[in-house]
Amino acid sequence: MSDTFKALVLRQEGDRVRQAIEQLTVSDLPEGDVLVDVEYSSLNYKDAMAVTGTGKIVREYPMVPGIDLAGTVLESKSPFYKEGDRVVLTGWNVGERYWGGYTQRARVKSNWLVPLPEGLDTRHAMAVGTAGFTAMLCVMTLEEAGLKPGSGTVLVTGAAGGVGGVAVAILAYLGYRVAALTAPGQENTHEYLEELGAMDFVAGPEWTVQPRPLETQRWAGAVDTVGGRVLARVLAEMNYGGCVANCGLAGSADLPTTVMPFILRAVSLRGVDSVLCPIHRRKTAWSRLVRDLPTSALDMITPDVISLDDLPSRSADLLAGKIRGRLVVDVRA
């Protein structure tokens, strides 16, 4: 192992955030019982905000961003991991409160790690990444609410995004009829979403205005990554007894709805969070991802593998809506 390694470090200078690739040594790393030789991380919405200094994602500076990572254990003081073990980490506020994945070495707490499931390599694990992991949690949440293939059409909102694309692929693979809602002007993503398994497409000006409290019933279940009026309309259009799994607020954090869908149609709205998800659920989700998401779909979802140097420009592209699907970061490149 060489003494120094590369990491993207964010430092606060007045009200500006400066990003730079720095050479660090292991002694610069924070406390933790496992040292990981990181191979891949991924670029998510939150990461793009952190890297560009947009919003209030990062709680402590200096910070190594990157909300997930996959690699090999180099040193371990934990009885649960030994040198050579392949591991994956998502959540637990890494890249926000604790140093994350945009580094060639990471020292982390062993109870944040999940053993890399058999059948998945580190690149595909980060093609799944936090977005795919969250998509799987959303699907599990809908199943727990009673959704089954044949129940009716399942709507995925923000379908061209990181979470949405994986949710479409998993649901289609499991045999659900999937409808995709994309943002206005994203019709050029429909062919790609069709290849992932979407059968119907939803768009139109009605998705940008306030819906009536109840609209015509259309959906047996829904994965919502957008929030705001989109989520309000999804709730108003749910079939009797249907469940919406909401994990995101790409459109808005507001929820301008009424109690009508909940009272008159027994609709349920369940929140999904990947950050503090319990370890047994994490392990289930990762093993389900190996089973329920073909790597061919993952390769399609992941058009690009980028380097640490690419992160500032690709983060800006992501926030400007110019990225389709998932971006994997090869931290060794």
What residues make contact with ligand NDP under the rule CB under 6 A?
Answer: 44-46, 130-131, 134, 158, 160-164, 181, 183, 186, 225-226, 230, 247-251, 272-275, 321
Contact 96, 57 (CB under 8 A): yes
Q: Please tell me the distance from the alpha carbon of residue 88 to that of residue 41, in angstroms, as a whole number.
A: 9
User: CB of residue 85 vs ligand NDP: minimum separation in angstroms?
Assistant: 25
Q: Which is nearer to ligand NDP, 101 or 251 (CB)?
A: 251
Best CA proximity match to 155, nearest among 74, 215, 112, 68: 215
User: CB of residue 160 vs ligand NDP: minimum separation in angstroms?
Assistant: 4
Q: Please tell me the distance from the alpha carbon of residue 129 to that of residue 25, in angstroms, as a whole number.
A: 26
User: CB of residue 296 vs ligand NDP: minimum separation in angstroms?
Assistant: 20
Q: Please tell me the distance from the alpha carbon of residue 217 to that of residue 242, in angstroms, as a whole number.
A: 10
Q: Please tell me the distance from the alpha carbon of residue 215 to that of residue 279, in angstroms, as a whole number.
A: 39
Q: Which is nearer to ligand NDP, 163 or 328 (CB)?
A: 163
Hey, what are 10's tokens?
């964010």
User: CB of residue 323 vs ligand NDP: minimum separation in angstroms?
Assistant: 7
Q: ∠ CA 224-116-125 to the nearest 5 degrees? A: 45
Q: Which is nearer to ligand NDP, 66 or 161 (CB)?
A: 161
Q: Please tell me the distance from the alpha carbon of residue 103 to that of residue 208, in angstroms, as a whole number.
A: 40
Within 10 angstroms of residue 110's Cβ, the number of other Cβ atoms is 16
Report the residue number whose CB is nearest to ligand NDP.
161
| Strand partners of residue 328 | 42, 305
User: CB of residue 241 vs ligand NDP: minimum separation in angstroms?
Assistant: 24
Q: Which is nearer to ligand NDP, 74 or 223 (CB)?
A: 223
Best CA proximity match to 101, nearest among 16, 6, 32: 6
Q: Which is nearer to ligand NDP, 251 or 261 (CB)?
A: 251
Q: Which is nearer to ligand NDP, 67 or 87 (CB)?
A: 67
User: CB of residue 16 vs ligand NDP: minimum separation in angstroms?
Assistant: 23
